[in-house]
Structures are given as C-alpha cells and as structure tokens.
Amino acid sequence: MTTDTATAIIATDDPILETDFIREVIRQVRALDTYGTRESEADAQLLEQLILTAEQRRAIPIVGDPDAGAIARLHVFYNALAMMIERECGLLASPMMSLNREGFGRVIIAVGKLIVVDKSLRDVHRFGFDSPSKMKNEADKLLSVALNIIGDHPKVAGL
C-alpha cells in the first residue's frame, strides 16, 4: 500500500487519530508491514493509505482490476471493523471476503453463526475514503447495525 506523501492529507495532531476505530485501522496497517519497513512512519502517514481524495479517485480509471494496495485497503478496513465488533460484544468476529479479479464480490463478517455485516463490493480498485472522518462514520454505521443484529440474536451469535 503506497500513497503520494508529498502533501500531507491528515495532520499528525488530528484528534481523529485517537479514536478507537482509527487506532485499530493503524494497528491493522502496521500488521501488514511484516518486514517493518514503515515502522518509523507516523500514524497519520499510515492512515493516509486509506484516503482517496476526489482528485485521486478521478485519476483512477473507472474500469480496472484491483492492485495489491486496493485489496490491502479493503482488508484493513474490514479487519478493523471486525476487531471493533469483537471488542464491543466479546465474541469472535470473522471477516470473510470473496473477490473476483475485476474487483467485484462480497464481504461478510460473522459472529458465531450470525452474519452481522454483508456488503457487496464493486470497483474495489477505487476503494478508499474521502477523509478519516468519513471512514470512521462508515465504520460507526456498520458497527451499530452489527451490534443491533447481535443484540437481537444473541444465541445465534454465541454458537
């Protein structure tokens, strides 16, 4: 996952960097850096990998196959979301993704035998968020729905 770091999108003292979800996203990005090549980078710089401004998105062709960076962004977001679900309900949350080479597919997050997130994927090569706050808002919406589903069906979630 690389990004043009010539201009910083996120300030290093931005308060959003201290929110639970964004901290988890940063942990997930660091987990993908298995050789430690980016361990000296600031959290804000690592988070910028998931940010695609309108200008950056326009530069990406409408039709295209997802590269490793796009797939990594997708994994980071949904793995972080699964960890937040797990933290909130105390049950194992497992993200599962099916994606074809053209960038279409589905991601689900299961808790026990219960599907708590079911999202269709398309144009994965353009996956990203306009800002950290928009990413957090999307995660908050998905987290709220997932926790409501778990609350409605606790026995199935506990299986």
CA distance 145 to 13: 30
CATH architecture of 15-157: Orthogonal Bundle (1.10)
Within 10 angstroms of residue 46's Cβ, the number of other Cβ atoms is: 23
Q: How far is residue 138's CA from residue 153's CA, in Å, rounded to a whole number?
A: 23
For residues 24 and 102, what is the distance between their CA atoms, to the nearest angstrom? Answer: 28
3-state secondary structure of 23: helix
The pLDDT assigned to 8 comes to 62
Model pLDDT for residues 80-123, shown as the tens digit of each residue: 999 999 999 999 999 999 999 888 999 999 999 999 999 999 98
Alpha-carbon separation of residue 77 from 70, 151, 152, 154 (angstroms): 11, 23, 25, 25
Give pLDDT, residue 56.
86
Spatial distance between the Cα atoms of 10 and 20, rounded to a whole number of angstroms = 17
pTM: 0.89
**Digit-coded pLDDT (tens) for 29-64:** 999 888 988 899 999 999 998 998 888 888 888 888
Q: For the chain, what are the domain ranges?
A: 15-157
